[in-house]
Amino acid sequence: IGGGPEANLSTTFTTPPAGVLALERDPDGDDRIVSRTIGGSDATPVFTAENIDDFRATSAYLVASIVDEETMRVIVVDRASGEQADAALPGPGTVLGLQVSERGQLYGFTFTDQDVSAESGRKNVLFTGSLAGAFDHAEPDPVVVGGEEPSIDRWRFVPETSSLLLNDFSGDLTLVDRTDPEGEVSSFGTALSIEGVARSTYTALIDRIEEGFVELDLATGEQQVVSTADLGGERLLGHMIPLADGGTLRSYALLEEGIPTTSDVVIVDPEGEAREVASTSDGEALQQVCASPSVQYIAVAVSPIAGNAYGGQVQTLPQEIETRIYDADTGDLVEAWPGFDISWCEVGPW
């Protein structure tokens, strides 16, 4: 209980510029992962190697798969100290599908033995491990489902949980708790692919065989069909990324006589209303789209179609790629940088 004159208190604060990491490949020299900020100065290299195939990053670590002569390595970098460590691999082979989880600072990848055959060897087996553990030579663990190590096509860390969402080559869609030694799973039927799991939610965007794209609640198993968007003309859906507010980030290619031409990148709200963010020009190919964690910015990776040779990495892309950053509200072009595979994305563009 009190009294006295009333007063209005106010304060102001400024958030730091949005930052992002990107991969720049160089056919004539070392590849590099660089750090950039919106409205900032030149790129700052944070990791270089002769052949970088892929990378992902958390707030504390960066993990990169590199091709070293005829073998692949996975290197973990402490972003604060710059210290590097080789992550233990199951053996010589191919590493794909590199991903990280902020919760627990984890990393994962699918692994195929170098000498795999129809009769023996591992093919696309999923391994996960601790990023900090790489500095103590801890080995990543294979993901076990029903006592076996399945071959995984698509997968995702489920944000803020210890679970993994898996889609194997038979189409089975399962949720696995990586801390459960028995490998108990929750089955969600079959799917063509996993498009993503929205940040700060327990909702996955799934491509079903019959229903098409659906939002799947991983806690209850309930799902609802994703609303369609009418952009006019004959369109082909390319990308669809879930957003935390229930909307989606999508790309649509305009078809002329059945042939894809230019592409439009749009944000579609939960009611199906579309807002255009960006578009490509004639002679450009859209490689990837993704949103910054706050969805303040949209990243669009494009490459020229003509005279743009593919690189020689395990996961190849055209040598010349540009990533354009757009304001998600206004659609204004904010930045245009060389490189791709930026750290805002859950996975690479392959």
pLDDT tens per residue, range 85-99? 999 999 999 999 999
Return d(Cα 67, Cα 24) in angstroms, integer. Answer: 15
Please tell me the number of Cα atoms within 13 Å of 137 on its side-chain side.
Answer: 0
Percent of the chain with pLDDT over 70: 99
Domain end position, chosen among 226, 253, 284: 226
3-state SS assignment for residue 337: strand
**What pLDDT score was predicted for residue 183?**
58
210 with 307, same domain? Answer: no
251 and 319 belong to one structural domain = yes
Question: Would residue 52 count as lying in a domain?
Answer: no
**15 burial level (CB within 10 Å; 0-12, 13-18, 19+):** exposed
CA-nearest of 337, 325, 336 to 296 is: 325
Q: What is the pLDDT of residue 252?
A: 95
Please tell me whether residues 247 and 304 are part of one structural domain: yes
Would you state the pLDDT for residue 70? 82
Q: What is the pLDDT along the chain (350 residues), one digit of tens a residue?
A: 677 788 899 999 988 889 999 999 998 899 999 999 998 878 999 999 999 999 999 999 999 999 988 889 999 999 999 999 999 999 999 999 999 999 889 999 999 999 888 888 899 999 999 999 999 999 999 998 888 899 999 999 998 888 999 999 999 999 998 877 665 689 999 999 999 998 888 899 999 999 999 999 999 999 999 988 888 889 999 999 999 888 999 999 999 988 889 999 999 998 889 999 999 999 999 999 999 999 999 999 999 999 999 887 899 999 999 999 999 999 999 999 999 999 999 999 98
Contact 38, 334 (CB under 8 A): yes
Q: How far apart are CA 149 and CA 345, in angstroms?
A: 27
Of 209, 226, 243, which closes a domain? 226
Rg from Cα positions in the chain: 21
Tell whether 152 and 259 lie within a shared domain. Answer: no
pTM for the structure as a whole = 0.92
CA 113 – CA 95 distance, rounded (Å): 9
| Helix or strand run (H / E) with residue 165 | strand 163-168
Q: Could you tell me if residue 18 is inside a domain?
A: no
189 is in which domain, residue-wise?
Answer: 143-226
Q: Same structural domain for residues 185 and 259? A: no
Q: Quick one: pLDDT at residue 117?
A: 85
Return the amino acid letter for 307. G
